[in-house]
Amino acid sequence: MDSTSKLSTATIALHWIVALGMISLIASGIYMHETEAFSIYPLHKSFGVLITLFVLWRIYLRIKNGWPTPVRQYKPLEIRLSKIVHWLLIIGTILMPVSGMMMSGLGGHGIPFFGLELLARNPSPENPKEVIAYSESLAFAGKVMHGLGGNILIAAITLHLLGALKHHFIDKDATLLRMLGKSK
């Protein structure tokens, strides 16, 4: 269980698996979008589906155990800001894979999972290189959410990182150390 002085192994491991996964997926997603590097699409999608399992496990633990209590008394404004950012991060971690699956799956492009086919491509009978969307409107909604969600997540992660660095270097408290499994 999480306590004021120590976080559980599950909280720490899930935080860093999801954090590194999200940052890598954002970087690869932007690279794909900018360069049309189609060879990495299946890897991006597969890791996106895989990370969803860790995200769901993490959300389950948050619902069951609540948020970790702060290491010390923060100012009310700090508490409010960190709550907003933590909620944005949690919502972003679920919105990104869901919107990615809507965009690709319902767009007819298919959802691969490391060589397996979770949802098959839907090739056009006239030109098999083209695909037909299962639902054009939901695939479009997924695309808009994936692009917008990515930008909101980048802003939230930047604020979150700045907050963690402020706690460590300016306030000199144990917030970051506790998430690294260390004590002050």
| Binder among 13, 19, 91, 133 for ligand HEM (CB under 6 A) | 19
| Binder among 6, 43, 54, 70 for ligand HEM (CB under 6 A) | 70
The full length of the chain comes to 184
Cβ proximity to ligand HEM, 68 vs 108, nearer residue: 68
Binding to ligand HEM (CB under 6 A) within 141-170 occurs at 146-147, 150, 157, 160-161, 164
Cβ proximity to ligand HEM, 92 vs 108, nearer residue: 92
What DSSP string describes 101-150?
HIIIIITTS-EEETTEEEE---B-SS-TTSB--S-HHHHHHHHHHHHHHH
DSSP β-bridge partners for residue 117: 112
CB atoms within 10 A of CB 92: 20
CA distance 28 to 14: 21
Stretch in the footprint of ligand HEM (CB under 6 A) among 98-106, 123-131, 133-141: 98-106
DSSP β-bridge partners for residue 113: 116
CA distance 78 to 74: 6
Contact residues: ligand HEM, CB under 6 A: 11, 15, 18-19, 22-23, 25-26, 29-30, 32-33, 41, 44-45, 48-49, 51, 62, 67-68, 70, 82, 86, 89-90, 92-93, 96-97, 100-101, 103-104, 111, 146-147, 150, 157, 160-161, 164, 175-176, 179
